[in-house]
Amino acid sequence: MAFEPRIVGFLCNWCSYTGADLAGTSRIKYPHNIRIIRVMCTARIDPTFVLKALADGADGVLICGCHPGDCHYVEGNYKTIRRYELLKKMLHDLGIEESRVRLEWVSASEGMRFAEVVKDMTETIRGLGPNRIKIELAADSAER
């Protein structure tokens, strides 16, 4: 069977979750591979959420928030930018491809953009193939 990536999306309530809803009301089609978890702000996203998603078998993690300067909480997304940079370093050290985790800005009016981001990310992950971490973790604990 062809590889179908599983992507977890963490979307901020005010811009991106609303943008994803707009894609829905506008009936803009995009790949079914994304499963969305709503948070109030991307600044709520603890890097461990992303690591846990990958450890539990997600092939990719998409974080979407308001455009810089347009955050419902003034500057939450700037905090996310900084955390994301650190997270990328951590992923690198863990041997996980950086492109499995992606940060994108999607406003409440960008339903089309959201669909395009999901499409593009799904293709990227499809190209990378399955995330091996879960399998490796299982093998690792079996050895012990």
Q: Which residues of this protein are in contact with another protein, per CB under 8 A?
A: 6, 8, 13-15, 17-18, 20-21, 23-25, 27-30, 32, 35-41, 43-49, 52-53, 56-58, 66, 69-70, 72-76, 79, 83, 107-110, 115
Between strands 34-39 and 101-105, the pairing is unpaired
Q: Residue 93 Cβ, how far from another protein at the closest point, in Å?
A: 20
- 127 burial level (CB within 10 Å; 0-12, 13-18, 19+): exposed
Report the C-alpha gap between 44 and 52 in whole angstroms. Answer: 15
Return the number of the residue (14 or 100) whose C-beta is nearest another protein. 14
What span, in angstroms and rounded, lies between the C-alpha atoms of 83 and 129?
26
CB 107, min distance to another protein, A: 7
For the bound state, the minimum distance from the C-beta of residue 52 to another protein, rounded and expressed in Å, comes to 6
Please, are residues 85 and 27 in contact by the beta-carbon 8 Å criterion? no
- Give the residue with the Cβ less far from another protein, 49 or 126: 49
